[in-house]
Structure 1
Amino acid sequence: MLRLTDVKLPLDHDDQAINEYILQRLSLQPKQLSEYTVFRRGYDARKRDVIILMYTLDITLADSVDEQTLLAKFEKDQHVRMTPDMEYKFVAEKTEELEQRPIVIGFGPCGLFTALILAQMGLKPIVLERGKEVRERTKDTFGFWRKRILNPESNVQFGEGGAGTFSDGKLYSQVKDPKFYARKILTEFVKAGAPEEIMFLSKPHIGTFKLVTMIERMRKDIIALGGEIRFSARVDDILIENDQVTGVELAGGEIIETNHVSLAIGHSARDTFEMLQKRGVYLEAKPFSIGFRIEHKQSAIDDARFGKNAGNPLLGSADYKLVHHCKNGRSVYSFCMCPGGTVVAATSEEGCLVTNGMSQYSRKEMNANSAIVVGITPEDFPGNPLAGIDLQRKWEQKAFVLGGSNYDAPGQTVGDFLTGRGEGEFGDVVPSYKPGLKFTDLSKALPPFAIAAIREAIPAFEKKIKGFSAKDATLTGVETRTSSPVCIKRGRDFQSISTKGLYPAGEGAGYAGGILSAGIDGIKVAEAMALSMLEKEA
């Protein structure tokens, strides 16, 4: 099978256009082409009125055509190559019962795939998730949004599916993936009920409600393979002797012995970070970002990005990705853009206010939203490795007070924020955050350097997205949990550099950002654990 890349066709091309392109591009006769499949489809919208579809195609030739001869003809053409073998191959397989079972702490995307791969290799993992199963967790989360009643152990951050469950469900990443782990993830998601289009769209997404059903099915697969999944099972201590993990202790006092623990805790398990520091596990502070959520009408973003092509079903709701380097040395960028979505309350601690973005699969809500955040580094919060958590909490508590100390969020129009006008009211863009918003002066909600940077960046973004700095666009504060403020350092064997048998994994450990990259890291960690447990060399 051959792979043909950089195939460019008009947005409105007919059904025969791809077939005709292949024949012309490879100088084939119709009878020499057996079939083709679309491996990837994206679009180039830099010229919004002349949008081009971009394809990567996998081509099966007729038996009469010699692939090697054809490849030799296109030897110097980087866009004609053999289709790589993308089938996932397990690095190990258990052949006999082991004395101990591997433990996976956390059941977000990283923990989910760590557990699934371990189970598929016959290693029967025990998953310990501090939150509830996904449907109960969804009830708690929606209850918080409607009634302001927070469950610190069951919310946007904690519970089956992790923070990614209440997001746009994006399934793309910029991480290098030479072993095609992403393909394994997408395949498992489709098996669990995801739309098959995620296998070929360049920017696939699922949305919250589809994720809920998929996660339940994948949980059942893990259990059917001998895995065990415990909810409301918070790990309060990692047991360590002579720098080797020997087990874990649960909140109720139960101890489970094991020499292999995957730590897929997510970026908001602050109490777990504190416990790890006390136990002597090596931690480092790492950069992260803070800012606000910005909302525009989705129709305005569609028009700015797609022009007369807005509304085309192949394009869907428009997204954007923006970055601006400021005069004060800071960088401001858009993050977690949610087309046709809503801004959601995402705190996991009482007395704190945190925002995030979420979309359903349809992306049909009135507004587009994204985080507009400022990068900060450990130099901004010197001290111990957990100083970044202290900084996050400081501004989350400040936002809670600015919003009225009842989980309403502080908000302001872009026009008033840019001019420094503290009083006003919302206009044509109706904020989507629940429970509600309190109009206030957002210049008090972040450090001065962040406010200055965002005030410079928004007008700069207007040059790329017309209407971005519209006066009635809205800002909601604050977004502080873009990534983990802590890195749990690990070596090439994926084990903690200070603690053998402890495998830091995913976003919380500082090795992923988003559903797909977290899942990829989960697979890598599962493989490392399996090789160690079965005493095989990588």
Structure 2
Amino acid sequence: MLRISDLKLPLGHDAEALAPAVCNRLGIPERDLLSHTVVRRAHDARKKAAILMVYTVDVALRDETAVLARFERDSQVRPRPDTDYRLVVQAPKDLEGPRPVVIGAGPCGLFAGLILAQMGFKPIILDRGKVVRERTKDTWGLWRRGELNPESNVQFGEGGAGTFSDGKLYSQIKDPRHLGRKVLEEFVKAGAPEEILTEAHPHIGTFRLVTMVECMRETIEALGGEYRWQHRVDDFDIETAADGARHLKGLHLSTGDYLAAEHVVLAVGHSARDTFQVLHDRGVHIEAKPFSIGVRIEHPQSWMDKARFGACAGHPDLGAADYSLAHHCANGRTVYSFCMCPGGTVVAATSEPNRVVTNGMSQYSRNERNANSGFVVGIDPERDYPGHPLAGIEFQRKWESLAYVAGGSTYAAPAQKVGDFLAGRPSEALGEVQPSYRPGIKMTDLAECLPPFVLEAMREALPVFGRQIAGYDHPDVLLTGVETRTSSPIRITRGKDFQSLNVAGLFPAGEGAGYAGGILSAAVDGIKVAEAVAAAYVGDGV
């Protein structure tokens, strides 16, 4: 088969128009086209008056060799790549030693556990939180009643932080082995809509993610995997050999149990601050890494649809409009949009008492009143929190604690209208934009809970973004603080074998270890690390 990319048709085209477009692109009669399958569908809205649908299509032809020869210098007509995933090894029937352990049941841990199970290794999966439906009840406890469970919330529990998000399934990682395709296919098997296989920006939404992670858990258990819920890892048993080499031997659990473990996937997510402290105390090599802080910015979704699509706003092939923005400021900072949630809500995402953290969430329909995204400023260790690999955590905690106080010390979030923010005055009342944050907001001055350099950069960027998207900097647009968990503040360094640089048997993985950012990239990293664990067991390279 051949793959044709960048095939363009007008918005609202007939369903039958694709085959003639393929033949016209290749210069062949329709009788020579045996079949065609859409691989990817996107839209090009740079010209609002002439929005185009853009396709990547796999085609079977009568004479593919002749056609390919005519397009040998055309990068948009190529042989179809092999995207099938193949297990790199199978567990030996006489496998000795402790079973592999995965710490964390978020996207990374989920796929590490799934791949290990599919290879026959029967992993043990530990998570400090609860199964997803019990966890959902605890999360609603914070959103509805202001009651936080530090071990079961937006950050901790089955499905990880990605469960309460937009469920975006795209990333900018390099993926030459098409592992992202494996992730999407497993999600479809678990109940995700098949369109995620073809949409350029696929998403699932929270409610569907809940049922999917349950289905995938059942698959792992059917293959011999074992889950242990409310089992937090409190310490790591690391043995030092005569030659100075250090090896992981086991895990001390919050239940009081000791679990022998010599191959452990560490997929704890970016908010496992207590685990990071324990790892540092045990001498595991950790370094500080950049992340970003800022706020959630909310606009009526209808404003974004009109600004992005013009008269075509509301067309079913376009859906709810999203955006991606960035600006390099005079003070050397970069301001950018992060985790954009069309038709979604701003949610409480703290995992520690007396702190306020915001995040964004959408359902599959993306039909809520507002659009929201992170409006954040990049920071870096050398400039902003030097001196200690865990200093970024304390930096986050400082602003989260101040946000809690600014919000009234009730888990309500501090909020401010853009017009007031730009003028440097506290907000006293809402305007046209109504907040979606639960358990509520308090109108105030965000200068009480953000660093001055962040305020400066955001004030510079707002009118710049307003010139790019009409209404972005409207005076009534709402800013809700604070957004601090954009990515992990640390990296648990690993080698080419995916093991910790100084503790054999420990496999740092995913977003918390500093190797991913989002559901898809975390899941892909989980696959890679599972393969590395399998290779370590059988003593063979992957």
Runs (4+) of structure 1 exceeding 4 A deviation are none
Aligned-pair Cα RMSD in Å: 0.7
Shift of 1:131: 0.3
2:287 and 2:252 map into 1 onto residues whose CA distance is 24
Q: Deviations over 1:19-41 (max 9, x none)?
A: 11111111212221111000000
Matches within 5 A, 1:272-421: 272-379=275-382, 380-421=384-425
2:518 and 2:230 map into 1 onto residues whose CA distance is 24
Q: Which residue of 2 aligns with 1:113?
A: 111
Moved more, 209-218 or 438-447: 438-447
One of 456, 460, 463 as aligned partner of 1:456: 460
Q: Deviations over 1:198-222 (max 9, x none)?
A: 0000000000000000000000000
Matches within 5 A, 1:197-208: 197-208=195-206
Shift of 1:186: 0.3
Q: Deviations over 1:329-379 (max 9, x none)?
A: 100000000000000000000011000000000001000000100000002
Q: Which residue of 2 aligns with 1:49?
A: 49
Counterpart code for 1:271: D
Shift of 1:171: 0.3
SS of the residue 1:507 aligns to: coil
Q: Which residue of 1 aligns with 2:131?
A: 133
2:541 and 2:176 map into 1 onto residues whose CA distance is 20
Query: Residues 8 and 54 of structure 1 are in contact (CA less than 8 Å); yes or no, is this contact kept in structure 2?
Result: yes
2:286 and 2:65 map into 1 onto residues whose CA distance is 52
Q: TM-score, normalised by structure 2?
A: 0.98
Counterpart code for 2:271: S
Shift of 1:451: 0.3
Q: Which residue of 1 aligns with 2:249?
A: 246
2:375 and 2:523 map into 1 onto residues whose CA distance is 25
State, as a whole percentage, how many aligned pairs show the same letter: 63
What stretches of structure 1 of length at least 5 have no aligned partner? Answer: none
Counterpart code for 1:297: P
Query: Residues 416 and 424 of structure 1 are in contact (CA less than 8 Å); yes or no, is this contact kept in structure 2?
Result: no
Q: Which residue of 2 aligns with 1:186?
A: 184
Matches within 5 A, 1:473-484: 473-484=477-488
1:262 and 1:472 map into 2 onto residues whose CA distance is 46
Counterpart code for 2:180: A
Q: How many residues align?
A: 535
Shift of 1:59: 0.3
Query: Residues 105 and 264 of structure 1 are in contact (CA less than 8 Å); yes or no, is this contact kept in structure 2?
Result: yes
1:213 and 1:56 map into 2 onto residues whose CA distance is 30
Q: Which residue of 1 aligns with 2:77?
A: 80
Counterpart code for 1:144: L
Shift of 1:537: 2.0
2:21 and 2:496 map into 1 onto residues whose CA distance is 45
Moved more, 388-397 or 77-86: 77-86
Query: Residues 12 and 317 of structure 2 are in contact (CA less than 8 Å); yes or no, is this contact kept in structure 1?
Result: no
Query: Residues 294 and 475 of structure 1 are in contact (CA less than 8 Å); yes or no, is this contact kept in structure 2?
Result: yes
1:423 and 1:74 map into 2 onto residues whose CA distance is 61
Shift of 1:423: 3.9
Counterpart code for 2:64: E
Query: Residues 463 and 473 of structure 2 are in contact (CA less than 8 Å); yes or no, is this contact kept in structure 1?
Result: yes
2:427 and 2:109 map into 1 onto residues whose CA distance is 45
Shift of 1:172: 0.3
Q: Deviations over 1:36-92 (max 9, x none)?
A: 00000001111122111111000012xxx2322221121111111110110001110
1:265 matched to 2:232: no
Q: Which residue of 1 aligns with 2:140?
A: 142
SS of the residue 1:463 aligns to: helix
Query: Residues 42 and 54 of structure 2 are in contact (CA less than 8 Å); yes or no, is this contact kept in structure 1?
Result: yes
SS of the residue 2:48 aligns to: coil
Counterpart code for 1:221: T
Counterpart code for 2:289: K
1:91 matched to 2:114: no
Q: Which residue of 2 aligns with 1:532?
A: 536
Shift of 1:18: 1.1
SS of the residue 2:405 aligns to: helix
1:236 matched to 2:239: no
One of 168, 185, 189 as aligned partner of 2:166: 168
Q: TM-score, normalised by structure 1?
A: 0.99
Shift of 1:313: 0.7
1:281 and 1:95 map into 2 onto residues whose CA distance is 30
Moved more, 491-500 or 23-32: 23-32
